[in-house]
Structure 1
Amino acid sequence: MKDQYNISDTPIGWLWDIGLIFTLGLLFPFYIISQLPTIEWSLEAVLAYSILFYGTIRLTMLGAYGKEKLLSLTFWIFVYVWLGIVPLGQVLSNITPWSAINPAGIITLSLLVVVIGLVFFDIGYKLGISNKGLAKQRIILFLDTRRMVLFSVLTIVVSLIIITRFYGGFSTFLMTRTEISMLLANKYSKTQILLIGHFLVASIYVAYIAGLVKLNNAQSLGNNLKAITIIIFFLITILICICSNPVASARYQVGFVGLSTMFVIFKWNDRQSMKLWIMSLLILLLVIFPYADLFRSTKDINIDYQGVANELTKNGDYDAFKQLANTVEYVENEGSTKGNQALGVLFFFVPRTVWGDKPLGTGEFVAEYMGYDYTNLSAPLWAEAYINGGLIGVILAFICYGFIIGLLEKVYLEKKTKSSFVTVFVPFFAGYQLFFLRGDIMSTFAYLVPILGFMLIVTKCKSYQNILGGENVGKI
């Protein structure tokens, strides 16, 4: 077998790699620095730049390798943006999205928490993608066509009932999110709104992405079954366009639907695709993302572009590191919650009327502790791990998370099963991971669990000897 980095063993390949390092590691960050109103270099700024540059190296390695490592792609994109370039700008300028500047020691410790998480993510990832135990696995979850068709038909019927009876008709989805929330709040409890809303989106999405994967591998379908699948998929596509449109839906919902669709339908090219995805996602997240929430309260678009540097330092969309620092400050003053926040995540579905002391989401909990008036804030996975178990919690969380990501990519890259649970889940989570990592996890978990459950419904266990017996994909 050829060396896995042979794509870059050419002058053009090396130019691509050098260009990526120069652009992400030097050109873009120093362009941002040049736009800051004040600059004050410090140990914290050097640490932030080190995280940014490490993210640059990891993204460059993914580009050089070229394989379809979608989960690694979005993980390191998140690190580069929210935990690299953003804290660098905020630390240098001493400007953050929310009031109350954290003490210097807290900022230093927060950056070290990020570093520790990345180190143990890499360790876990290596263990996961190098795992040989699954090579002897004889059972795999295949995407079952009949289950998928039946699930999709039921989804169409139930969705029509929910849309007409609960939401009051399709016209509701032409309203803004604020208008929809006010309309439903007059009729139903918050718990009812969340549960039914998540059920509707999750069921339609799973029917959609499963159908897309199956049709993308249409050779596994008979002619009659293929025709039925196409008709049902067409109806499901109409539903998802209505229920996940950018006016009525949260941008993370629009985001994971759009990204997973492109991950499935775009043919992967080992020479170009990863590099193009890296640059495209960075443009999307640094330029377009802050304005993707324009329709939240009004349909009248009024774009007031302030420049990338201003957005990264002042816009609450990039508050992940600030919220990590707030979380570290809370733990240093009050101690960790010893898993209490995680307990709230695991039992997110229990109404507060039943569980009076149910923990708030970590973003809201920390925001209240800091005395903020607006508390619907993020809490990145690093903050969730730290508030639950301190540095030990970060180590355990990220070695486990890295192992799971590595294992999923190992199975996905083998491509021995074209239509399986993994080939449906990985494109979904590659897009969803950006929002999962940003948090808070109580909010993201509430969508993840029903989607996982519905994905298991449309799959079926089958015997499949040596499913992971193909080429080695352990190097990164």
Structure 2
Amino acid sequence: MQKLTIKRFMYTYFFICITLIGSFSIFLDLDFINKQGIVIVSFLINGVIILFELSKSSKVGYSLKDIFYLFLFIFMFISPLIQYLKGVFPWWNTYLLTDEKIIYTNLIILLFLLVYLTIYKIAFKNRIIIKNREVKNIRLVMDIFFVATVFCSLFIIINTGFSNLFARVNNSLQVELSSFALIISNTFRSVSVIYVGMNLLFILKNKYVYRIIPFMLGSILMILVNFPTATARFWMASVYLGLLIILINKLKNPHIFKIIIFIGILVIFPAINTFRNNSFVEVIRNGINIAKPADAFLAGDFDSFSMLVRTIIYADSYGVTWGNQLLGNLLFFIPRSFWPTKPIGSGSMIAEDFGWNFTNVSLPFIGEGFINFGILGVVLFAVILAMLCKFGDSKYEKCIYSENRNITFIELIFPFSIGFLFFILRGDLLSSLSYYIGFMAPVIILWLIQSLKIRS
């Protein structure tokens, strides 16, 4: 925890004021339908704890821990409370979301929150044992990544079509095998991002640009194959937020990052979503309509809490899967042709059971723990998440304040993990984990190659 100065106190004070005033202004616009006091109290207990933890500042101004509490505040407190008060939850079968189930779900969230809070505080308390691994022969590595950037980017541009690179509705690879297309779409697009990230880190550490023309060309290709309006919102956020974090690795205002995330979710994400079903030209012609915050929170994008309730309902009827869903998540790379009984995403599984025609729904990380192992899974998943977040935050902060001019793997992984963690927490785990590992594949391959060379 950082030393409390007058400046930091004022930053925290204004952050809390802005958060409370902004949240209160949203609720003023509501016509309350449900007003059961005990249900509202169950939300408020979680909300107070989350906001208290969110008000604590991280050393560099952002962290995986901040993302965790931001997710809980928005998706497990503000949005579901608005949905409850309005009597409108995303998707169907909402009559099953009774007051008793909502209170029980809030207790599950409270348990997850308290376990995470405790483990994060005590994990790796003395020191992080694992040494930060440096990228060896960084100039040669950047040269190789530049060649890979050109190859991967041209492959995407040729197969997608240049005119289709700017809107998500048309931005898909024309490849027959869907599994192969997914691998290419994730990993091939990330190569250029990692290349640009390496160059930015090299510039910051060495104060000069290594091969300026390849860097400029690689940056242009990176933007083309990862154009903000043509990629999924979580991908866009992970890419460009990650690059921004690399550029501005320490924030003077420890809460500005959280405010940016709030604005992004309430304004930028709804605007970007317009390109999901419309071409770039159609959007420019028709304009962008952004819903009021209160209405936006009622949409399917904020279905995490309601899907958690439905997960509990599903488990009450069929029992937990005892790790079967988790096994499918961890072995996502195995084609279904080789594993016909491979589990589908947990959110889709529950949606199919309810008989919905639309099954592309979320299932939050907490729900993945519950669907696999019940209450024990909630505790287990909270412990794993807290340890990973604490490890990443501690290792990254150590690198940021180090005078070492070499680039480390954690500096390549952490900035982009910030955005992906939000996606993983929202779920479902099958899709989010496959996208995350697909994005990190170039870094993982590089790490494996250099690890084998060191051992040999």
**Structure 2: distance between partners of 1:68 and 1:130:** 20
Deviation at 1:259, TM superposition (A): 0.6
Whether 1:4 and 2:2 are equivalent positions in the alignment is yes
8 A contact 2:153–2:192 mirrored in 1? no
Which residue does the alignment assign to 2:263?
283
8 A contact 1:49–1:85 mirrored in 2? no
Quick one: which amino acid aligns to residue 357 of structure 1? T
Deviation at 1:164, TM superposition (A): 5.4
Higher deviation after alignment, 436-445 or 302-311: 302-311
8 A contact 1:341–1:362 mirrored in 2? yes
Which residue does the alignment assign to 2:441?
453
Whether 1:78 and 2:99 are equivalent positions in the alignment is no
Deviation at 1:72, TM superposition (A): 1.8
**Aligned mate of 2:15, from 14, 20, 25:** 20
**Change in 2 beyond 3 A, CA 1:294/1:21:** same
Whether 1:294 and 2:270 are equivalent positions in the alignment is no
**Change in 2 beyond 3 A, CA 1:78/1:164:** closer
**Aligned mate of 2:302, from 315, 318, 323:** 318
**Structure 2: distance between partners of 1:142 and 1:13:** 33
**Aligned mate of 1:399, from 383, 391, 403:** 383
**Aligned partner of residue 134 in structure 2, secondary structure:** strand
8 A contact 1:363–1:375 mirrored in 2? yes
Deviation at 1:112, TM superposition (A): 1.5
Whether 1:30 and 2:28 are equivalent positions in the alignment is no
**Aligned mate of 1:246, from 204, 228, 238:** 228
**Structure 1: distance between partners of 2:377 and 2:126:** 23
8 A contact 2:199–2:215 mirrored in 1? yes
Quick one: which amino acid aligns to residue 225 of structure 2? C
Which residue does the alignment assign to 1:264?
246
Deviation at 1:77, TM superposition (A): 1.3
Q: What are the superposed Cα offsets for residues 398-440 of structure 1, whole Å, 9 maximum, x if unpaired?
A: 1111011111111111233552111121111112211121111
Deviation at 1:165, TM superposition (A): 5.4
Query: How do 1:285-364 and structure 2 match up within 5 A?
Result: 285-298=265-278, 299=280, 300-301=282-283, 302-312=287-297, 314-364=298-348
Query: How do 1:151-162 and structure 2 match up within 5 A?
Result: 151-160=144-153, 162=155
Which residue does the alignment assign to 1:369?
353
Deviation at 1:382, TM superposition (A): 0.6
Which residue does the alignment assign to 1:188?
176
Query: How do 1:187-266 and structure 2 match up within 5 A?
Result: 188-218=176-206, 226-228=209-211, 230-266=212-248
Deviation at 1:82, TM superposition (A): 0.8
8 A contact 1:68–1:413 mirrored in 2? no
8 A contact 1:379–1:439 mirrored in 2? yes
Whether 1:179 and 2:170 are equivalent positions in the alignment is yes
Which residue does the alignment assign to 2:368?
384
Deviation at 1:161, TM superposition (A): 5.1
8 A contact 2:187–2:442 mirrored in 1? no
Which residue does the alignment assign to 1:438?
426
Which residue does the alignment assign to 1:470?
none
8 A contact 1:59–1:76 mirrored in 2? yes
Whether 1:427 and 2:415 are equivalent positions in the alignment is yes
Q: What are the superposed Cα offsets for residues 118-173 of structure 1, whole Å, 9 maximum, x if unpaired?
A: 11111221233514251xx5x43102304522431341243145235543x43331
**Change in 2 beyond 3 A, CA 1:192/1:453:** closer
**Change in 2 beyond 3 A, CA 1:227/1:365:** same
8 A contact 2:149–2:191 mirrored in 1? no
Higher deviation after alignment, 101-110 or 428-437: 101-110
Aligned length: 437
8 A contact 1:147–1:458 mirrored in 2? no
Deviation at 1:66, TM superposition (A): 4.8
Which residue does the alignment assign to 2:133?
141
Q: What are the superposed Cα offsets for residues 218-266 of structure 1, whole Å, 9 maximum, x if unpaired?
A: 25xxx7xx533x4333222112101111232111111111111111112
**Structure 2: distance between partners of 1:131 and 1:252:** 34
Q: What are the superposed Cα offsets for residues 333-384 of structure 1, whole Å, 9 maximum, x if unpaired?
A: 1111111111111111122222211111112112212222211111111111
Which residue does the alignment assign to 1:99?
92
**Change in 2 beyond 3 A, CA 1:304/1:164:** closer
**Structure 2: distance between partners of 1:34 and 1:238:** 45
**Structure 2: distance between partners of 1:166 and 1:303:** 29
Deviation at 1:80, TM superposition (A): 1.1
8 A contact 2:150–2:221 mirrored in 1? no
8 A contact 1:122–1:399 mirrored in 2? no
Higher deviation after alignment, 342-351 or 47-56: 47-56
**Structure 1 residues not aligned, in runs of 5+:** 463-476
**Change in 2 beyond 3 A, CA 1:240/1:367:** same
**Structure 2: distance between partners of 1:148 and 1:131:** 34
**Structure 2: distance between partners of 1:140 and 1:304:** 46
Q: What are the superposed Cα offsets for residues 296-316 of structure 1, whole Å, 9 maximum, x if unpaired?
A: 12132343343111111x211
Identity %: 25
8 A contact 2:109–2:366 mirrored in 1? yes
Deviation at 1:29, TM superposition (A): 2.9
**Structure 2: distance between partners of 1:232 and 1:131:** 43
**Aligned partner of residue 132 in structure 2, secondary structure:** strand
8 A contact 1:148–1:211 mirrored in 2? no
**Structure 2: distance between partners of 1:345 and 1:434:** 17
**Aligned partner of residue 178 in structure 1, secondary structure:** coil
Deviation at 1:30, TM superposition (A): 2.5
**Structure 2: distance between partners of 1:50 and 1:324:** 18
Q: What are the superposed Cα offsets for residues 63-116 of structure 1, whole Å, 9 maximum, x if unpaired?
A: xx5534421222221111111111111122221121222122221222112111
TM-score (norm 2): 0.89
**Structure 1: distance between partners of 2:409 and 2:122:** 21
**Structure 2 residues not aligned, in runs of 5+:** none
